[in-house]
Amino acid sequence: MKRIIVVGNGMVGHHFIDQFIQQEKMAEVQITTFSEESRLAYDRVQLSAYFSGKTADDLMMTSPEYYDDNGVQYFVNDKVVGIDKDAKTVTTAQGRIESYDKLVLATGSYPFVPPIPGKDQDHCLVYRTIEDLEDITASAKESKVGVVIGGGLLGLEAANAIKQLGLETHVVEFAPRLMAVQVDDGGGAILRNKIEALGVTVHTEKNTKEIVKGETCRYRMNFADGSHVETDMIIFSAGIRPQDELARSFDLTLGERGGIQIDDNCLTSDENIFAIGECALWQGRIFGLVAPGYQMAKVAVDHIVGAGQLTFTGADMSTKLKLLGVDVASIGDAHGNAQGAQNYVFTNEADQVYKKLVISECGKKLLGAVMVGEAEDYGTWLQIYLNDMDIPGSPENMLVPPAEGGAVTMGVDALPDSAVICSCLDVTKGQICAAVQDGATSIGDIKTITKAGTGCGGCSALVTQVLNAELASMGVEVNTDLCEHFAYSRAELADIIRVKRIKTFEALITEFGAGHGCEVCRPTVANILASFWNDYILEDDHLGLQDVNDVYLGNMQKDGTYSVVPRIPAGEITPEKLIVLGEVAKEYGLYTKITGGLRIDLFGAQLHQLPDIWAWLIREGFETGHAYGKSLRTVKSCVGSTWCRYGVQDSMSLAIDLENRYKGLRSPHKIKFGVSGCTRECAEAQGKDIGVIATEGGWGLYVCGNGGMRPRHADLFATDLDTDTLYKYIDRVLMFYIRTADRLQRTSVWLENMEGGLDYLKDVVINDKLGVNTELESEMEANIANYQCEWKTTIESPEKLLRFKHFINSEEQDSTVQFVEVRDQIRPATPAERAGQIPVLEVS
């Protein structure tokens, strides 16, 4: 069996392994990989998301189980320190000696730290690994001011990180502009303006001479020009260097300035050793993006399996980023260095937008581009550049579309099948089209089949365009009808119900539908009716429309019992009420659990017990928590400035007010809020549908985040809001979501599918683009005014209480309910326990 050793388990090393696993010859090899870090491969491209609520687990790209299932041997916390090229073995720091037939060096790079006196002190850090992020987070807890040395891509990401941690933030750059490699002077000026407007101080043309003890802060950075800045934390992000120490020590050919020299097959000077990723030097170039590393990995796999079809011929270094919330993109020859190149520049200082096209001397070819502040055309321009296509129309019309003709666009139909749509995973238009022809009908299908869009995600819009164009070419029309009974989408039905002021399902289906309805349209219409009119959902006109959870005002569990979840706004509860919950649970023998949403859930209530439990809770001041509905579930909060020494606003009071304001609001899907009293984000507000974070100037509002199966980080919507404006914006966002979202659509998916995305939503909510804000606010006020506790309304109606029996003509209990005691509480009996093989508890 052939043995392959991969030194380094970063993104590129893992991609090599993942590519090899797909090969038929995987059964003929044994792959072993070494990681000197404590974990397997994780997504360094999304590293900044760690400061936005994602955990190390969220960033993982693989798992021990995946490697075990595919026969990959792996070692963490162990570094390869020796190579014996003659014996074809490697030696590790822990003393392991492993033999190889082929060796793949994927050692990556390390952060360059300039030789500045004082650089090795505490709180002088780098920004490269998860461990580095943990060190930065720890330092931030003892710091007020942070400085990043380096104004490139990673430097601005690091600045964003420490700003999110609540520090006064500075960026120090040696060059005369930020991102000097990617943007020109004009783009750099706009970028600087936008970043400084966000509260980050930028210092350009600064050469740090020394780091000494500070007067007002921990350190003082003295610059060569005589100026200085004081800071408590310093992050070095001044570039990377290839990690070539192993190759250097064991006689592999290196470049003059470092990097392991490779040929077009990614082979080093040894015929059995490959190098891929940021450690590899090809024709004098180091490629510092993940996409070229992935291409190298594919070439190395192809060469090892003997296919011989692929070679590495360089890589495009175009990139699109969002730094501190600012769109920045660079394509090809962004600086116009080509002979005869012509520059076309558009600057909008009012909106802080800068665009530049670099056009060939003949005026037909796009050689490069720069975008700052707005990058919607990036996907189109990149494809024109990569595929050497003639530009559509004139260059000036690409920058500023003529009013009479609209935007100058290039449809995806014009792209050849060979056009690479996803550069990270090297997925072409032809592969996406083939997937559609094989049955893919959604962006999720395309991601599953081709992996396009699962890398950095920058190609998602273009992938969707290719998908839709191919579906259209096949004559497939996407049917947005809710079901066979209504020839309308959910959003269209919501408009009909709202405008026509329809109050019942029967009235709606009589005038706008056909038949009697189904399990799709009936609960959907029930949800819309509740969103606008907030009637009691168990009224006779509404009762037959509800899901089982809504019918019984509790979540049905796997054994047919129900959970009871009283509202505890923001998790604040008095000792007396806490005792009541204990007494209720003890009286009815319920299982109790404190949830992640600041609730105490009581499980195991039988149908006939629900009204008695509700009555007891209501007497003691509780009300329904609506855990059973597509509605506001919880508002999670920290203790804020009331107790916490870091809190800058009273997050508890705001969270309670928000929960009481929106309780009972029915929506297309469940919604969750979070309120944090400072930027340390203990309430995880940026992972919620509506997130609020306290600032020194008021409140920052985040929208459309969620956890669950596909977590999404919420987007910053507005900052430094006063409380009244915050309520207005939330009212408008939620009611616009209720009006326009699809059936069972989370806010995160709603925003992702919205044409124009976050900018459009801001335009609607903040600038009243559609002229509907007064209506939205009025509709929300009406909903709030009609709130009722559904538990209370039910127990006050003898007629409705008749539903809460197991049998119509008998008071008997449900004899099929059986429990087992575990950790002094009950749980549902398993099938084996029900069959009498294991003793169960009798239900009284």
The answer, yes or no, to whether residue 403 has pLDDT greater than 50, is no
Least confident of 286-290, 319-323, 470-474, 550-554: 319-323
Round to whole Å and give the CA distance between 840 and 827: 10
At residue 181, the pLDDT reads 84
Average pLDDT over residues 450-468: 77
- Is 723 domain-assigned? yes
| Residue 31 placed within a domain | yes
Residue 189 resides in a domain: yes
Note the helical H segments in 552-639: 575-588, 610-619
- pLDDT of residue 644 exceeding 50: yes
Provide Rg for the chain, Cα atoms.
30
Q: Please state the rounded mean pLDDT for residues 544-569.
A: 87
Q: Where are the alpha helices (DSSP H) in 501-605?
A: 505-512, 521-533, 540-543, 548-551, 575-588
Last residue of a domain, one of 764, 785, 806: 785
Map 349-362 to HEC letters: CCCCEEEEEEECCC
**Higher-confidence residue: 646 or 104?**
104
Which runs of E-coded beta strand occur in 544-638?
A: 555-556, 562-564, 591-594, 600-605, 632-637
Q: Is the pLDDT of residue 843 over 60?
A: no
792-833 per-position pLDDT tens digit: 999 999 988 988 887 655 566 776 788 888 888 888 887 777
- My answer on whether 92 and 139 are in the same domain is no
Mean pLDDT of 317-329: 79
Do β-strands 671-676 and 632-637 pair in parallel, antiparallel, or remain unpaired? parallel
CA dihedral 593, 595, 599, 603 (to 10 degrees): -40
- Separation between Cα atoms, residue 256 and residue 251, nearest integer Å: 14
Handedness of CA 547, 549, 550, 552 (dihedral sign): positive
Same domain for 228 and 105:
no
Distance CA 356, CA 540 (A): 64
Structural domain boundaries, residue 516:
490-546
> 293 and 167 share a domain?
no
> How many domains in the chain?
4
Query: pLDDT confidence of 408, banded at 50, 70, 90?
Result: very low
Q: What is the pLDDT of residue 442?
A: 78
Both 152 and 191 in a single domain? yes
Has 459 been labeled as part of a binding site? Answer: no
Mean pLDDT of the chain: 89
d(C-alpha 450, C-alpha 356), whole Å: 33
Q: State the pLDDT at residue 777.
A: 96
Asked whether residue 479 carries a pLDDT value surpassing 80, the answer given is no
Higher pLDDT, 33 or 478: 33
Burial of 422 (0-12, 13-18, 19+ CB in 10 A): buried
Give the three-class secondary structure for 245.
helix
DSSP H or E stretch at residue 417: none
Least confident interval from 505-509, 575-579, 747-751: 747-751
User: Are 174 and 209 spatial neighbours (Cβ–Cβ below 8 Å)?
Assistant: no
Domain stop point among 785, 814, 835: 785
Lowest mean pLDDT among 208-212, 517-521, 624-628: 517-521
Helix (H, G, I), strand (E, B) or coil at 100: coil
**Considering only CA atoms, which of 385, 428, 443 is closest in space to residue 410?**
385
Helix and strand element counts for the chain (H, E)? 28, 38
Residue 644 is assigned to a ligand binding site: yes
Ranges 317-326, 370-379, 637-646: which has the least confidence? 317-326
Task: Give 3-state DSSP helix, strand, coil % of the chain, rounded to 5.
Answer: 35, 25, 45
Q: Are residues 227 and 250 in the same domain?
A: no
Q: Is residue 401 scored above 70 in pLDDT?
A: no
Question: Which one of 751, 770, 785 terminates a domain?
Answer: 785
pLDDT at 42 over 80: yes
Residue 696 or residue 321, greater confidence: 696
Please tell me the least confidently modeled range out of 120-124, 292-296, 457-461, 839-843: 839-843
CATH classification at residue 746: 3.30.413.10
362 among annotated binding-site residues:
no
* 367 assigned to some structural domain: no
**Binding residue per annotation — 456?**
no
Segment holding 83, helix H or strand E: strand 80-84
The answer as to whether 356 is a domain residue is: no
> Cα separation of 645 and 201, whole Å?
26
Q: What is the CATH number of the domain that holds 54?
A: 3.50.50.60
On whether both 610 and 734 belong to a single domain, the answer is yes
Helix, strand or coil, per DSSP, at residue 272: coil
Four-point Cα dihedral 771, 772, 777, 783, nearest 10: 170
Query: How far apart, in whole angstroms, are the C-alpha atoms of residue 487 and residue 493?
Result: 9
pLDDT at residue 539 above 60? Answer: yes
Condensed to tens digits (0 to 9), the pLDDT of residues 65-74 reads 999 999 999 9
Same domain, 662 and 744: yes
Using DSSP, state whether 206 is helix, strand or coil: coil
Residue 409 has pLDDT above 60, yes or no: no
- 542/684 same-domain check: no
- Note the pLDDT of residue 407: 42
Of 62-66, 382-386, 459-463, least confident by mean pLDDT is 459-463
- Contact (CB, 8 A) for 273 and 257: no
If residue 89 lies in a helix (H) or strand (E), which one and from where to where?
strand 89-92
pTM of structure: 0.56
Q: What tokens does 590 get?
A: 């319920």
Q: Is residue 357 part of a domain?
A: no
DSSP 8-state assignment for residue 334: T
Same domain assignment for residues 772 and 627: yes
Q: From residue 462, how far is each of 381, 666, 760, 829 by CA, in Å?
A: 11, 34, 19, 51
The SS3 call for residue 784 is helix
Q: Say if residue 834's pLDDT is above 80.
A: no
pLDDT at 404: 43
Residue 619 and residue 748 in one domain: yes
169 domain-assigned: yes
89 and 214 in a single domain? The answer is no
User: Residue 205 domain-assigned?
Assistant: yes
pLDDT tens, residue by residue, 428-448 = 899 999 999 988 887 778 888
Closest CA to 102 of 247, 242, 275: 275
- For the segment 401-406, the average pLDDT, to the nearest whole number, is 48
pLDDT category of residue 113 using cuts at 50, 70 and 90? very high
Q: ∠ CA(595), CA(161), CA(695), 5° rounding?
A: 70
In a shared domain, residues 218 and 271? no
Flag whether pLDDT at 520 surpasses 60: yes
- Identity of the residue numbered 700: G
